[in-house]
Structure 1
Amino acid sequence: MTSAIVQSDRQRRRAKFAAAAASISLAALVWPTMAQAQDAEDVAAETEADSAGDIIVTGSRISRKDADSVGVLLTITSEDIARSGTSSIGELLQKIPSAGVSLNSNGTQGTSYGASSINLRYLGGAEGSGNRVLVLVDGHRWVDGVGQRGFRDFVDLNTLPQGMIDGIEVLKDGASAIYGADAIAGVVNIKTVQPFDGLRGSVRAGVTSRGDGAEVGGMLTVGKTWDRASVILSGSYFKSRPIRTDARELTTLTLVPQTAVGNNPNGLFILPGLANNAYFGTAAGFASSANPIVLNNGAAIGAGNQADNAFHVGALPGDAYNTQAQGIYSTGPSERYGVYGRFDYELTEDATIKIEGVYNRRKSNQLFSPVLLDVGGTAGTVRGFAIPNNQAFNPFGTANGVPAANAIGFAANSAWRIRKVMSDVGNRNNAQDVETFRISVGVDGILPIMGGEWRWDVFGSYSKNSIHTTAENGINYDNLFLGLGSPATCAANAGCVPINLFAPMTAQQADYIRFTSREYNRTELYNAAFNITGNLFDLPAGPVALAVGYEYRQNRGFDAPDPIVNAPPIYLNAALYTKTTGQTRTSTVGSYDLHEAYGELNIPIFKDQPFAQSLDVSLAARYSDYSTVGSKTTLKAGIGYRPIEDILLRGTYSQGFRAPSILELYQGARQTSFQGTDPCNGGATANPSLPGCSGVPTGYNQANFNLNGLIPGVISGNTGLKPETADTFSAGIAISPRAVRGLSLTVDYYKIKIKDAIASQSPTQIMQLCALRGGVFCDLIIRDAGTGAILQLLQGAQNLNAVETDGVDATLRYDFNTGIGRFTTMVDASYLNSFKTTAPNPAGGDPIIDERAGKGDQPRSTYPRWKGQASLGWIGDTVDMTLRARYIGPTTDRVNAVKDDRTRSIIYTDAEIGFSINDDAARFNLGINNLFDKQPPASYANAPINYDIYTYDARGRFFYARFSVKM
């Protein structure tokens, strides 16, 4: 008898938890949601189930039967993910209208290096960064990402095996008081698959209409439940192929016109002594800085005084060369696979233990054009080289039959210069191998306290992300120095191979100067937490609910750069130049830990009154004590008011808090190459109204320096940073009229202001401020006095700015039944009213205000005022169809001579048809993304790839098929 009672109680509690999970979908009636609508019977069943159990929804730690006191929430179910037409969680989340530029393109012209992020409200601290969005998994922290040139300070969504994901909740509201730091812009909570009996599997494959960018992936999840235990094991796999820049008209050639002969595989040579040379019979100015020479296509260099006949004075258009067509990736290849395991066991009638393990591996790479070499004696980007007159491949030297009296050498103190695309060495290739490991243990249960049931949970986890990276086909300057130097010096160094920069190299020569860097970095997370929630006492309107908890966290980061890259050169000036073309940086080692405690109250003020349906108030506070920056308390208050059952008026005020990350505090100084346009292009004469351009030589052309116009720079951390704080306000209305079943409308206004924002000015901002104001604004830029080229731009994080943004989100849904099936419609839109950064003026006076809303005139920083998506779905007995559209509004572009100063709007249209077999035991879907093959709007600011890769999709029309089974 007792056994039967116990078994019945277990069944009751399991049904209660199942009902709680099912009732989450009721949020669709109140908040914006991507969930497919159920039929009337399903909705009725869920309403009945809701009365039996409580739920916890992202944005609160309190168990409740509804979530009316929670802020603006977007719910994405597993079915939504399957029918989204996307291949990754990052790609799906970036389509949310409130998402800004995010790292979801594995292309060459960016810094994702295969990672994926979500950047809500455009508030990420750097391009595409998600470091002001808190990413959770089942309410708990996930380890930070790693990268090609050091670790990250945000979660890489590509470190989660997709098979473990059952749904996603996106809270577009500040939540630092509930979850701690980093939740300034919002929270993304990823829900894992729950215990079940059976098997779920799917495979998906797709390819563009041009035959590139192919994708293939699959998931298989097996579940088994027993009386007291359950097991889940899931495996995931995904692989994508690259898309080259020369495979699309938009990305084949930079929008910035080539105005002077630049780097090309035939070389560009400035060689003093050749001009008006009697022995070689050259013309005046031949091979001078004003008339550099180029090797004739396919020419064999003649001996003696015939050597110069193989060269001609470079000129456009004949010597134009497009590095974009050299196999550069618009989207690079990626492969990832992972496993997820979970074991649940009922320890007692009121306590259950859950053990989870995750392993994920990602391999990705990006292909760049070959090294754009620029070396010389007292000219060029890297100086101090010499080519003596007896070097084996000097065409104007004795080794080529030129008499000693007429032979020309090029000394280290001579203004000679050679620029060359090193195609003989090969395309540069960055490759990443990322491994993610996580083990977690949690125990949860129910305690009888104060006459009621209090739910509690204890959780602990250890996570690690690690990466091994390579950067192939760079150049070793020390070896190049020896190979260009005197035969005697070369012979005295074992393995030295004489180098030919005047004509195509042999494989042996290319191997000798080729350099591959190898680096490693990792992040680690130790996390422990305790939570308890229940009802304190009853008021006339209902129980006063309380949640309290404690969390301990330790974050660690370690970065080991390549020792050869960071070693000083042996033969060049170590104070000015590096040993290789690799970008140097000092090692980063850092950690911090913190203790946090929080409390949350939900207070029902009144209910079922003649003047109103209900009024609820929620209050929360969190105390955080960091080992690095001390302690901080954050508060949050929310209100939900229903004048009638059909209308919910809601509002929240919250204080945000973000401590500086390990990266922002301790990042070692590292070299990098910034993308941006130098306002002083053309020199001081061409820019008389820009005082910061004073002294820049006339005719200076940015494209002729530093790897085709990239800006060499240094980024470093700042141990003097203090936390940034934020105030977030939101207010809105949700209407779900009972008279029109299936109709809902939500409109919400938000305003976020961040004080002491941890930020770095963009390279473009730094250059523009220098040009416009001169003086102290130019202290961060070092130029070559002779050429005007920028030698170094300094960028570091500081508590400089205030960031303020506000806007409106609106969602309209209408789902209804007809005689021919069920229709689902949704329109989700976001309006960005303002995104303003205020920085102090170093010269005194009014602060500098940068309003970004509606602008796209900086690389990978597009801020359209309007973004939206809409869908129309039809669900029949065995067939369903969906039509989706995504809108990105117009923005400004840089003023330029080749197009207008606007980046036009675009609409991407997707279509899908699905076939159900045996009541959804199996499904087959066919879809087309970007049905009308729209290419991104051209953007001069984003040259040379000509579009913002973190906002738009350049792959074009994409066909895919998906097959899934449930058993």
Structure 2
Amino acid sequence: MKRPHRRWPASAVPLSLSLLAAGGACAQEAADAQSSLATLERLQVTGTRIRTAELEGQVPVQVVGRAEIERSGLGSIGEVLQQLTASGSALNAKFNSSGNFGFPPDGSSVGAGSAQVDLRHLGAKRVLVLVDGIRWVNESSASGVGSATDLNTIPLALVERIEVLKDGASSLYGSDAIAGVVNIITRREYDGTQVTMNYGQYGRGDGTSRGFDLAWGRSDARTSLFLGASYVKQDGVDARDRAQSRWPVPGTGLAFGSSATPDGRFVFVDPDTGASQDLVPNAGAGTPAYDGSAGCQRSDGYHCFGTGDRYNYAESNLLLTPSERKGVFGQFRYFFNDDVQWYLKALGNRRESSNRAAPEPILLGAEAGTGNPLADAIVVSALNPYNPFGFDLDSAGNLALIGRRPAEGGPRLYRQTVDTQYLASGFVGTFESPGRTWFWDVNAMYGRNDAEQVNTGSYDLYNINLALGDPAACAAVAGCVPLDIFGGAGSITPGMLRWIQPVLRDRSRNELGLFTANLTSDLWRLPAGPVSFATGVEYRRYEGWYRPDALTVAGHYNGVPSLPTSGAYNVKEAYLELSVPLLADPARGQALDLSVAGRYSRYSTFGSEFTPKYGLRWQVGRDLVLRTTWAEGFRAPTIGELYGSAARADLQLSDPCSIGLGGTAPRGDAAHCAALGVPAGYQQANSQISVTTGGNRGLEAERSRSFSAGFVWSPWFGSNTPWSQRFDLGVTFYRHHVDGAIQAIDAQTQLDLCVATLDALYCDGIGRAASGGINGFDNRLTNLGSIRTDGWDVELGWILPETGAGQFRLDWQNTFVGRYEATGAGGQRQPQRPGWEVVDSAIPEWTSSATLAWSRGRWNASWTARHISALREACGDAVAFAACSDPEAGINRLDAVTYHDLQLGYRFAWLGGLQLSAGLNNVFDKDPPACLSCSLNGYDASTYDIPGGRYGYVRADLKF
């Protein structure tokens, strides 16, 4: 029996149709089909649920084929997508993202070890990820209930192609599709066996990556079976091995190092003399007597704290985090007859990854600012045998800060294990009625991510309190050992560590179950052609929980605290989409089509939403198509955003009321600082401020409006001519406006506005100790203001005629960001804008990727240039250092960067074919620009390659 493949949708649901493609990867993927209305090529892509060719070119879709993926030399879907010019900042393996990052202000959890995708700089949680048209379950990172998709849960080996819809699509796919949709199309039919091996390493001899993929398939008249297995292991890279990343802020030495040192820092007022002291033990001093001299004079065993005493935590960081991923997957299809098939898909994937941070600091006292009373309200007893001062150190009176970093306990290690399970099944079919064919499908899916994070190298504050208190109270508790926090590096013994250093285990889960049913066909004919429709229903249930270690729940954890989170909700949806041909003249290749879509969603958490979308496509002639769309969208608050309990992120904040590290005057108004209780001459003891965040059950959905307009042009004089086999140009203008964005106000912006205005809107939640230092910062989620962004995509594809020298092909993708404005609920402008680097996130005004590919016989090669335009950032306290390029304006310039990637391959005629490839990414070993405002490793890990980033690799692909 012959299977009618042409009658089946491109995925398990009829979400794809023939669309016009221009430039880039699109033209290559489209080369096997011709439009009935024009000479323009087309392909099966995401963007509508109607199965008809008359809507081709309605929406901007970029297709990344398997050839492009293999040419990149990259090992994960996330790495591939983050190199698209429309991508914004998102987590990847270059983020050493545990430790003080804690819970980010958007409530989405850290996602340690994950890889995400951001489109249009609107955030990963505003991008919908589909696999064969079905939603994928959100990440689980063991630090919360995630709001984005971890692309590391999907093995790259199962991908046939990736379709990126760069337009709002809530009317078609529901929540989360504000910035666009990523649809990952899997390999489904394959006869034979394919074995792929790859190996790569950075030029410094580190960061080794190796992988092994196995694919096997068979098909006959009734069945189709595809099985695959994937293994990827990525070694880490130490920050200490790259000069740019050895210091907290490049070019400033220890000025931005931590005041919590292995020897310890002690800031207090001597109750006997009233003198303020800021002391550090002399190296090797042990526990000397304290002489109580006036002022901050040097005593026998201590000296006054200075910049040279600060601790360089950067050397302990990872520049590239290690990861190991193992996955198995399969897809089976059974054809009952020419009209009905049944499919079954399953996947299991495990990711084991780790992050590493410097030895954890123990911060105690009124200016510790942790928000934990066990740290902020501590009393160190005068009876403690290691207290050299002879009096109590009391946070309520004389103790401002104890900063001790027990290097004896080793670095903080965070090891994640994430298990992904996926099962999907359904029926797909057709039936006939007079004059039309009906396409239908029903689908069910269940996906789950389970994560565990094991944390070593952290401390128990409750046990620290006992060990620093009255020794009699300590002796009454089994295992308690008095703690020597004053004696300098090496004074904390193994017995002391056993009492204060636990092993912490956090767990989390995200689950998604769904059912969909869809129907599409033609309704009736108009003079210009048939009116087509698609309709369907969908039911989804989300459930998630996060269970931190019992010590964390009890408030004993010295690191970033959090409380358990759990919740569930469901959504019921129905949609209708219409395609209406208004005009058609096939003889001249002209057509005008209207598309209309609407989706009704009812959430158990906040109510109902209706989102419409309208589009026009005008095929002016055989080689030119104009298109425009307008859509409303929404994003429902997720489990973490709704139910997340109080948690904390430690952020680098510059107090406007503080003297700068270089001795510069405070930025804030002196009278306002005095009104806030900050004395003249105050200098911030600790710039790492603990900011508390948490969920909000009163959150409403985010609402958006999206607009796009552009054209696709394949001129007749560029097709089958001596200078061009094919030439395509595509230009698209985009605009997104998000209202009620779920996030918290930028913490630095809130602090600056509090000092500038004294308005309770900004100052409520910011507490200060009697010394003037910040000792509390509450920054909760809300439906905050709006985000507006617009820009242009320009794509060019050029295939040259084949000659004796071979065939050349040029693909050039560009994105220009014209506007990006984020505004808080009170009208305050957030710092993000085009051309600026803010909080480890950049919005370049221009990103570009150009690939020149060559093939001749069995040889092939490619050269890719990736360009990121220049950026600026605020120097902050680094204004006093030479690293700030424009100290008068307080601005540092990050120069434009262009990376070059090269690949060469040869195909042998062995068995079914052996393809050998070798490549070098970042050929000229271009370092990223040094970033003064970035929190780790001296550069923006979401925008640039790592320093010392020349990466070579080899790949072997054998088919038989």
Whether TM-score is above 0.5 comes out as yes
Match for residue 770 of structure 1 among 733, 747, 754: 754
The code of the aligned residue for 1:906 comes to: V
1:737 maps to 2:721:
no
Taking the aligned partners of 1:674 and 1:506, their CA distance within structure 2 comes to 31
Q: Secondary structure at the match of 1:862?
A: strand
Task: Quote the residue 2:346 is aligned against.
Answer: 357
Task: Quote the residue 1:321 is aligned against.
Answer: 311
Task: Quote the residue 1:887 is aligned against.
Answer: 867
Tell me the alpha carbon deviations over residues 772-799 of structure 1, each in whole angstroms, 9 at most, x when there is no partner: 2222144344233333332222222222
Q: Residues 55 and 65 of structure 1 are in contact (CA less than 8 Å); yes or no, is this contact kept in structure 2?
A: no
Q: Residues 233 and 323 of structure 2 are in contact (CA less than 8 Å); yes or no, is this contact kept in structure 1?
A: yes
Q: Residues 588 and 622 of structure 2 are in contact (CA less than 8 Å); yes or no, is this contact kept in structure 1?
A: no
Task: Quote the residue 2:450 is aligned against.
Answer: 466
Task: Quote the residue 1:671 is aligned against.
Answer: 648
- CA 1:144/1:271 → structure 2, altered by over 3 Å: closer, same or farther? closer
Task: Quote the residue 2:357 is aligned against.
Answer: 368
1:95 maps to 2:83:
yes
How far is the alpha carbon of 1:63 from its aligned partner?
1.3
Q: Residues 11 and 132 of structure 2 are in contact (CA less than 8 Å); yes or no, is this contact kept in structure 1?
A: no
The code of the aligned residue for 2:303 comes to: V
1:907 maps to 2:863:
no
Match for residue 878 of structure 1 among 850, 858, 863: 858
- CA 1:205/1:611 → structure 2, altered by over 3 Å: closer, same or farther? closer
Q: Residues 933 and 957 of structure 1 are in contact (CA less than 8 Å); yes or no, is this contact kept in structure 2?
A: yes
How far is the alpha carbon of 1:309 from its aligned partner?
8.0
Q: Residues 177 and 598 of structure 1 are in contact (CA less than 8 Å); yes or no, is this contact kept in structure 2?
A: yes
- CA 1:652/1:474 → structure 2, altered by over 3 Å: closer, same or farther? same
Task: Quote the residue 2:264 is aligned against.
Answer: 267
Match for residue 639 of structure 1 among 613, 616, 625: 616
The code of the aligned residue for 1:268 comes to: R
Taking the aligned partners of 2:473 and 2:782, their CA distance within structure 1 comes to 48
Taking the aligned partners of 2:86 and 2:670, their CA distance within structure 1 comes to 37
The code of the aligned residue for 1:651 comes to: T
Q: Secondary structure at the match of 1:90?
A: helix
Match for residue 340 of structure 1 among 298, 312, 329: 329
Match for residue 475 of structure 2 among 455, 479, 491: 491
The code of the aligned residue for 2:897 comes to: I
Match for residue 628 of structure 1 among 605, 608, 622: 605
1:720 maps to 2:698:
yes
- CA 1:511/1:69 → structure 2, altered by over 3 Å: closer, same or farther? same
Task: Quote the residue 1:835 is aligned against.
Answer: 820
Task: Quote the residue 1:457 is aligned against.
Answer: 441
Taking the aligned partners of 1:266 and 1:752, their CA distance within structure 2 comes to 52
Which deviates further from its counterpart, 555-564 or 807-816?
Answer: 555-564
1:600 maps to 2:577:
yes
Q: Secondary structure at the match of 1:933?
A: coil
How far is the alpha carbon of 1:564 from its aligned partner?
1.6
Q: Residues 676 and 710 of structure 1 are in contact (CA less than 8 Å); yes or no, is this contact kept in structure 2?
A: yes
Task: Quote the residue 1:282 is aligned against.
Answer: none
Tell me the alpha carbon deviations over residues 329-387 of structure 1, each in whole angstroms, 9 at most, x when there is no partner: 12211111111111111123311100111111111111111122223599897345455
1:293 maps to 2:280:
yes
Task: Quote the residue 1:104 is aligned against.
Answer: 92
Q: Residues 759 and 801 of structure 1 are in contact (CA less than 8 Å); yes or no, is this contact kept in structure 2?
A: no
TM-score by length of 2: 0.88
Identity %: 32
Q: Secondary structure at the match of 2:205?
A: coil
Q: Secondary structure at the match of 1:795?
A: coil
Q: Quick one: higher RCO (CA 8 Å, sep 6+), 1 or 2?
A: 2
Taking the aligned partners of 1:359 and 1:542, their CA distance within structure 2 comes to 46
Taking the aligned partners of 2:68 and 2:19, their CA distance within structure 1 comes to 13
Taking the aligned partners of 2:834 and 2:324, their CA distance within structure 1 comes to 36
Match for residue 938 of structure 1 among 918, 924, 930: 930
The code of the aligned residue for 1:819 comes to: G
Matching of residues 233-248 of structure 1 within 5 Å: 233-248=227-242
Match for residue 864 of structure 1 among 819, 823, 844: 844
Structure 1: gaps spanning 5 or more residues: 1-6, 125-129, 277-284, 397-406, 568-577, 842-846
Taking the aligned partners of 2:396 and 2:704, their CA distance within structure 1 comes to 56
Please give the root-mean-square deviation of Cα atoms over the aligned residues, in Å.
Answer: 3.1
Task: Quote the residue 1:785 is aligned against.
Answer: 769
Taking the aligned partners of 2:366 and 2:19, their CA distance within structure 1 comes to 69
The code of the aligned residue for 1:566 comes to: V
Task: Quote the residue 2:24 is aligned against.
Answer: 33
Taking the aligned partners of 1:619 and 1:649, their CA distance within structure 2 comes to 17
Task: Quote the residue 2:512 is aligned against.
Answer: 525
Match for residue 545 of structure 2 among 558, 570, 573: 558
Q: Secondary structure at the match of 2:924?
A: coil
TM-score by length of 1: 0.88
How far is the alpha carbon of 1:807 from its aligned partner?
0.6
Match for residue 536 of structure 2 among 525, 549, 559: 549
Taking the aligned partners of 1:930 and 1:295, their CA distance within structure 2 comes to 46
Taking the aligned partners of 1:777 and 1:264, their CA distance within structure 2 comes to 36
Q: Secondary structure at the match of 2:260?
A: coil
Match for residue 680 of structure 1 among 657, 661, 681: 657
- CA 1:134/1:409 → structure 2, altered by over 3 Å: closer, same or farther? closer
Which deviates further from its counterpart, 777-786 or 512-521?
Answer: 777-786
Q: Residues 269 and 277 of structure 2 are in contact (CA less than 8 Å); yes or no, is this contact kept in structure 1?
A: no
How far is the alpha carbon of 1:711 from its aligned partner?
1.7
Taking the aligned partners of 1:174 and 1:947, their CA distance within structure 2 comes to 31
Which deviates further from its counterpart, 685-694 or 335-344?
Answer: 685-694
The code of the aligned residue for 2:873 comes to: D
- CA 1:609/1:455 → structure 2, altered by over 3 Å: closer, same or farther? closer
Matching of residues 394-413 of structure 1 within 5 Å: 394=387
Match for residue 65 of structure 2 among 77, 83, 96: 77
Task: Quote the residue 1:571 is aligned against.
Answer: none
- CA 1:780/1:152 → structure 2, altered by over 3 Å: closer, same or farther? farther
Q: Residues 758 and 798 of structure 1 are in contact (CA less than 8 Å); yes or no, is this contact kept in structure 2?
A: yes
Taking the aligned partners of 1:292 and 1:20, their CA distance within structure 2 comes to 67
The code of the aligned residue for 2:957 comes to: S
1:538 maps to 2:522:
no
Q: What is the count of residue pairs matched by the alignment? A: 905
Q: Secondary structure at the match of 1:498?
A: coil
Tell me the alpha carbon deviations over residues 55-103 of structure 1, each in whole angstroms, 9 at most, x when there is no partner: 7520111112465243001011112111112111111111111111111
Q: Residues 441 and 460 of structure 1 are in contact (CA less than 8 Å); yes or no, is this contact kept in structure 2?
A: yes
- CA 1:477/1:44 → structure 2, altered by over 3 Å: closer, same or farther? closer
Q: Residues 766 and 780 of structure 1 are in contact (CA less than 8 Å); yes or no, is this contact kept in structure 2?
A: no
The code of the aligned residue for 2:630 comes to: Y
Match for residue 49 of structure 2 among 53, 61, 69: 61
Match for residue 921 of structure 2 among 921, 929, 951: 929
Q: Residues 461 and 558 of structure 2 are in contact (CA less than 8 Å); yes or no, is this contact kept in structure 1?
A: yes
Q: Secondary structure at the match of 2:240?
A: helix
Q: Secondary structure at the match of 2:212?
A: strand
1:756 maps to 2:740:
yes
Structure 2: gaps spanning 5 or more residues: 102-109, 293-297, 720-725, 886-890
How far is the alpha carbon of 1:134 from its aligned partner?
0.9
Taking the aligned partners of 2:655 and 2:366, their CA distance within structure 1 comes to 26
Taking the aligned partners of 1:769 and 1:538, their CA distance within structure 2 comes to 61
Task: Quote the residue 1:591 is aligned against.
Answer: 568
- CA 1:457/1:95 → structure 2, altered by over 3 Å: closer, same or farther? same
Q: Residues 19 and 58 of structure 2 are in contact (CA less than 8 Å); yes or no, is this contact kept in structure 1?
A: no
Tell me the alpha carbon deviations over residues 677-731 of structure 1, each in whole angstroms, 9 at most, x when there is no partner: 33333289723537653332344444x32xxx22201111111122222111111
Taking the aligned partners of 2:61 and 2:21, their CA distance within structure 1 comes to 9
Taking the aligned partners of 2:172 and 2:696, their CA distance within structure 1 comes to 28
Task: Quote the residue 2:105 is aligned against.
Answer: none
Tell me the alpha carbon deviations over residues 522-570 of structure 1, each in whole angstroms, 9 at most, x when there is no partner: 1111100011112223334332221111111111111112222121xxx
Q: Secondary structure at the match of 2:455?
A: strand
Tell me the alpha carbon deviations over residues 843-881 of structure 1, each in whole angstroms, 9 at most, x when there is no partner: xxxx33447332434212211111111111111111111
Q: Secondary structure at the match of 1:144?
A: coil
Taking the aligned partners of 2:566 and 2:442, their CA distance within structure 1 comes to 30
Which deviates further from its counterpart, 737-746 or 688-697?
Answer: 688-697
Taking the aligned partners of 1:351 and 1:106, their CA distance within structure 2 comes to 46
The code of the aligned residue for 1:875 comes to: S
